[in-house]
Structure 1
């Protein structure tokens, strides 16, 4: 296997000149550059990536941190980030953190030692103290982390209001909410949207709001308890589609007809929402677009060295499916 010394000998230049040509770092006249490139081609020389990283301080690698890879929202998000990374010829690394601060710190330290060029973070536990220790560009995705970091999100509060307005429009009289984790920015915003739509109703009961922690099993158990304690509930807005599927499962176990006895709206717009039975009405995020935007934003910050804090907020769209399509609505159609 050819080495950088072999290339230098063939081109009759120093190894430092070869390095400058490979890494496009420093001035090399065009004739010399041509000789080096011809030598590389003739010898089929492949630069040592470790050596190049040490020389440039760059790896052309970005990392995406997600809290739960089993949630179908995150693989869809990761696909978008990976596609944009590939388009710019960056290596993509996916880290599942369980939103555990120790795992996140371990990943941050290990990847920075490998000269990772930037991070896209879906996190609710990284503090300002930890963020300030990151030496490369960072973009927050799906949820706000800090006012000092660029972010790509959606209008979660508006989405929560849209969910409630839809449930009211189909005739729901008692609407409950199964919320995500209370320390998670987007979950809080979705709950605020729900409260915007119900807090002035005479029937509103604060006990109609329970936590499902963005998980199927926890949402299922929460829904069973909610519907057992308050059988008058005829509409539920779940803070994500995975919890929405848990609510559908709970309703089936209790013998409640969906949607005539209980209508359900989720949030996210993942592909799974179309495959559950009945299919799930959802407030859909443009998942691919927000992932792609975050990756594009990060890579541009890496390559331009521009540290300007940018924020992008995308709109959401309610997609009606069987879980809210009541008999009278079907008849009208």
Structure 2
């Protein structure tokens, strides 16, 4: 394997000159730089990434920390980040925090030592002081989907409250009069916003009751169990808005197990727009977030900060889209 000394020897220059060419310093004239690049190509020399990063203060690596890679929402988010980073020649390191603050802090601590250029974090446990600590060290950070309610750094998410309202108005237009909500963990900003959207639309309707709301855990099994609770309390429920698509899939499963027809007897709508909604039976109506675009935007903002320096903080909320499918299809008369 060729070394930097081999390159210097073949090009007839010093090791320091080779280093300056590799790190794109302006102090090397074009003729000498050409000799060095020709020697690098001839010897198939690969510069040491750590040494190059320390010299240039950039490693070409960004860290992406997600809460649950098993949830189909997050791989789609990660793909948006990775595609943008790859086009810019950067590598993405992925960490799965399991929504555990200690595990997340451990990832941040270790990855800082690996000289990553910046962090994209989807987190419910990130603290404002954690973000400020990274910024003091000159490490840009972008919060994605979940995170702080205040903008201590760039925050990219969708308009969760308005998305919930879209779902509720759609169910009402389809004839639903007693609509229940399976809400996600309330320590999650996204889940709180969707619950608030539900309450703003349904709270004033005749027959509304807080017992129409049941907690879930953003997974299929909790959606199934929530429906069992709902039907025990309110057997006349004719519409269900689930706080994410996985809980909506669980709701479909529970209704099928009880012989309750969807959408004839109960209509079901989810939230997220993951691919799984297209293969359920019936196909699931959902409020689709621009998942891939959110990831890509977070990556572009982070890369811009890496290049230009940490700038003004902002919260960007992207629009969502209702995708009506058979799970809420109105009965034909």
Tell me the TM-score normalised to structure 2 length. 0.95
Aligned partners of 2:256 and 2:7: how far apart in 1?
70
Q: Aligned equivalents of 1:266 and 1:242: distance in 2?
A: 8
Q: What residue is the counterpart of 1:98 in the other structure? A: 98
CA shift at 1:319, angstroms?
Answer: 0.7
Q: Which residue of 253, 259, 279 corresponds with 2:257?
A: 253
Equivalent of 1:296, from 293, 296, 300?
A: 300
Match of 2:145 among 138, 142, 145: 142
Superposed CA RMSD in Å reads: 1.3
Q: Is the 8 A contact 2:126 2:147 kept in 1?
A: no
Distance 1:132 1:260 in 2: 52
Using the TM superposition, name which of 20-29 and 252-261 deviates more.
20-29
2:131 equivalent in structure 1: 131
Residues in 1 aligned to 2:162 and 2:55: alpha-carbon distance in whole angstroms: 48
> How many residues are paired up?
329
Task: Show CA shifts across 1:271-320 (max 9, x none).
Answer: 10011111100011111111111111111111111422233221111111
> Can you give the 5+ residue segments of structure 2 that lack an aligned partner in the other structure?
none
Runs of 4 or more off by more than 4 Å in structure 1?
A: none
Structure-2 separation of matches of 1:308 and 1:129? 17
Secondary structure at 2:64 match in 1: strand
What is aligned with 2:226?
222
Residue matched to 1:36: 36
SS in 2 for 1:95: strand
Residue 201, structure 1, aligned to residue 205, structure 2 = yes
Identify the residue that residue 185 of structure 2 maps to in structure 1: 181
- Separation of aligned partners in 1, 2:306 and 2:57: 12
Q: Distance in 2 between matches of 1:310 and 1:118?
A: 17
CA distance in 2, matches of 1:132, 1:304: 18
The Cα of 1:26 is off from its aligned counterpart by 4.9
Separation in 1, partners of 2:70, 2:228: 23
Distance 1:256 1:72 in 2: 27
Distance in 2 separating the partners of 1:46 and 1:221: 55
Q: Give the 5 Å matches for 1:15-164.
A: 15-134=15-134, 135=137, 136-145=139-148, 146-164=150-168
Distance 2:286 2:304 in 1: 33
Report Cα offsets for 1:151-201 as digits up to 9, x if no partner: 111111111011111111111111111111101111111111111111111
Deviation at 1:50, TM superposition (A): 2.4
Contact 1:5 1:15 in 2 (8 A): yes
